[in-house]
Structure 1
Amino acid sequence: MPAEWPTEVVRRAESLHMELCADIDRFVDWHQLPDFFRPLVEHYYLPLALWLSDCKRQQHTLVVGICGGQGSGKSTLAEFLHLAWEYLGLRSAGFSLDDIYLSRAQRAQLAADVHPLLATRGVPGTHDIPLGMDIIDRLCGLGGPGPVSLPMFDKGADDRRPRSLWPVQSVPVDILLLEGWCVGARPWRGGEAPINTLEQHEDSDGSWRNFINKQLRGPYRDLFARLDRLVMLKVPDMDSVLDWRSLQEQKLRARGGKGMRADEIGRFIQYYERITVNMLAEMPQRADCVLELGRDHSICGVRLNPGPPGDRVEKQKTRR
């Protein structure tokens, strides 16, 4: 067990692991996860679930952000955390940045008004940030009584699902998860020159990049200010992101889906390269928990940063 976890968390995780063995086996089988996933549960996932539950203050929802490059395992981690918290008697809920993409029509209008690259979902500026903030506030019980409908996005149709199909969650919840590839990202400084062929050939004047950075300085900063804790799944580098995304597309094609070709994947990853590289450089120093990923997709280390980031906590105090 890594020494970074508090001793009491380690002890409780070992006990909880024995109690949840059958549930863990079912989880692994259902998701067809590799053999190395089981020790990850014992040494990282369960301690993280307990450590985060200890961060919760009475009468307040703990809002946790999970950040990680594409294919890093954010969704799997989030789903397992919900499983563990349910066993601990905690009510949890959450959604992904992917769930609050702007509709296809809205992105088409954005592409016409600002830059053609904004028709492609993913980068800051292509999400419905007011919707995300409203969902967080309501799940925290700040929007009054009554259930909350959680947004859903259909990636196959490249559009938001009808509201009538959104799942309903009672409020308030004890712990709320917001996961996404750029959750907690900050604006980059400098670096005006293109860093890949996409930026060089399709954003030569930097207007697309400037729009994204402006979004990070404004609406996305307000959204991420609602986080109490930030967990980073730290990918080794952009080559790993490309490899893992390629593996995802291979699995999609094997299931009969329409996966991207190698050249399409390479271009797609370039949309996210600038922000991902910036996060790898600066986020590990401020994220509350950093899980270091190896090239084989396993977790090879953990670091807990002492004390929460001051600017985010102050905004949380003001909101509540």
Structure 2
Amino acid sequence: MNSWLSELLVTDVAVETWLKSAREAALADQLRTQAFAITRENVDQVLYKRSQLLQSFLPKFHQFCQTTLSLPTQNMLSVLWDLWLPLAMRLAANRQSLGKPLIQGILGGQGTGKTTMCQALTLILQHLGYATASLSLDDLYKTYSDRLVLMQRDRRLIWRGPPGTHDVDLGLNLLKQIHQSQSPVTIPRFDKSAYKGAGDRTTPETFADVDILLFEGWFVGVRPIPVEAFNTAPPPIITNADREFARDMNRQLQDYLPLWAQLDSLIVLNPNDYRCSLEWRKQAEQKMIASGKTGMNDAQIKEFVNYFWRSLHPELFIKPLIQDPTAVDLVIEIALDHSFGQVYTPRERMKSEG
């Protein structure tokens, strides 16, 4: 944790002591300052507002670290200060300027931390007075019985997850209700443990007067690409059958476009290397096995992850998406150790590189 951030939490520290260091840190990364609307003129005001929020939110964050993350609060303070707090403040400002409920899309592959980030953002936004709810793309899966029928029609759909395994109309109706400020709204939930891990719908949740909806998922906002891209697709899209499956999943994405059209903004959690997902999945399975639960071995994990890469390969779908300023509002880079790197808007990054 930054030393000046530690000093901020000591009540007798002089404001100017930490402000100087905080100011230098905030202005050091030009792309991040642009992403969070920080300038040399407003930096002191922004930092003061963020520090006030940090100190008032800290008790709730301490409980979150203990009960949800099982980590010491000190280990997560830098992430809170540098990413989650400014991001929550950005979302709150967007909600105010929009003048109606905000639907924030969050795209992130396996292990990128999108669920944890949504939990943290929800707590902060609620602390700020915004009624915030979350929706996972997983919550929109078709029922177990409907997916059995689907699997009989297409034997390649051996796992839930790819395009075509979701009830798009269910999600579309919900997002429209939220945009129209209807209250209350019923948000579907999915139990992954049902039917021995096959999963099924479970009891939905009811929310009143939603201000902000965080809609996250592994291909939220992903669009179809030209079919020619599959002619030279990267592994594990190798065989003709692989390419046919990839093209079919690409066509299925067309049905999701009305859903993506309801997004007011899209944030992408982008690994420095998409293959990090394989390592993160291994770590998650090892942790499950160590806790006494059943988990997949390395060969099963590789086949599982490859299945998703065959359906929507990150190099084909995510790479061009994050370069499109009309599609993505913010990119957060994720390293192998789960730390975050650059935070930028595609438009500003293109300017800096151009």
Counterpart residue number, 1:211: 248
TM-score (norm 1): 0.85
8 A contact 1:71–1:241 mirrored in 2: yes
From 213, 238, 241, give the equivalent of 1:176: 213
The alignment covers a number of residue pairs equal to 298
CA drift of 1:205 comes to 6.6
Do the aligned partners of residues 237 and 83 (structure 1) sit closer, same or farther apart at CA in structure 2, a change above 3 Å counting?
A: same
RCO comparison, higher one (Cα < 8 Å, 6+)? 1
TM alignment of 1:234-245, pairs within 5 A = 234-245=270-281
Do the aligned partners of residues 205 and 284 (structure 1) sit closer, same or farther apart at CA in structure 2, a change above 3 Å counting?
A: closer
CA drift of 1:58 comes to 5.4
Do the aligned partners of residues 119 and 108 (structure 1) sit closer, same or farther apart at CA in structure 2, a change above 3 Å counting?
A: farther
1:288 equivalent to 2:329? Answer yes
TM-score (norm 2): 0.78
1:66 equivalent to 2:102? Answer no
Q: Deviations 1:17-69 (Å, cap 9, x if unpaired)?
A: 12222222221122124764220110011000001111113541111001111
| Structure 1 unaligned spans of 5+ | 308-320
Cα distance in 1 for partners of 2:242, 2:59 equals 56
The AA in structure 2 aligned to 1:254 is A
1:137 equivalent to 2:168? Answer no
From 150, 153, 159, give the equivalent of 2:190: 153
CA drift of 1:271 comes to 2.2
Counterpart residue number, 1:311: none
Counterpart residue number, 2:142: 102
Cα distance in 2 for partners of 1:283, 1:13 equals 31
1:302 equivalent to 2:339? Answer no
Counterpart residue number, 1:26: 63
CA drift of 1:94 comes to 1.9
Counterpart residue number, 2:305: 269
1:45 equivalent to 2:112? Answer no
8 A contact 1:129–1:220 mirrored in 2: yes
CA drift of 1:11 comes to 4.0
Do the aligned partners of residues 11 and 221 (structure 1) sit closer, same or farther apart at CA in structure 2, a change above 3 Å counting?
A: farther
Q: Deviations 1:64-111 (Å, cap 9, x if unpaired)?
A: 001111011000110111101111111111210011111232222222
Cα distance in 2 for partners of 1:117, 1:266 equals 17
The AA in structure 2 aligned to 1:130 is D
The AA in structure 2 aligned to 1:278 is L
Q: Deviations 1:214-263 (Å, cap 9, x if unpaired)?
A: 121x2211111110111111111232111111111122223332211111
RMSD: 2.2
Task: Return 86-95 or 254-263, whichever deviates more.
Answer: 254-263
The AA in structure 1 aligned to 2:212 is I
CA drift of 1:209 comes to 2.0
8 A contact 1:107–1:120 mirrored in 2: no
From 93, 97, 101, give the equivalent of 1:54: 93
Counterpart residue number, 2:285: 249
1:166 equivalent to 2:207? Answer no
1:121 equivalent to 2:152? Answer no
Do the aligned partners of residues 226 and 58 (structure 1) sit closer, same or farther apart at CA in structure 2, a change above 3 Å counting?
A: closer
8 A contact 2:222–2:318 mirrored in 1: no
CA drift of 1:200 comes to 4.0
8 A contact 1:68–1:234 mirrored in 2: yes
From 80, 89, 99, give the equivalent of 2:120: 80
The AA in structure 1 aligned to 2:305 is I
Cα distance in 1 for partners of 2:313, 2:223 equals 8
8 A contact 1:133–1:223 mirrored in 2: yes
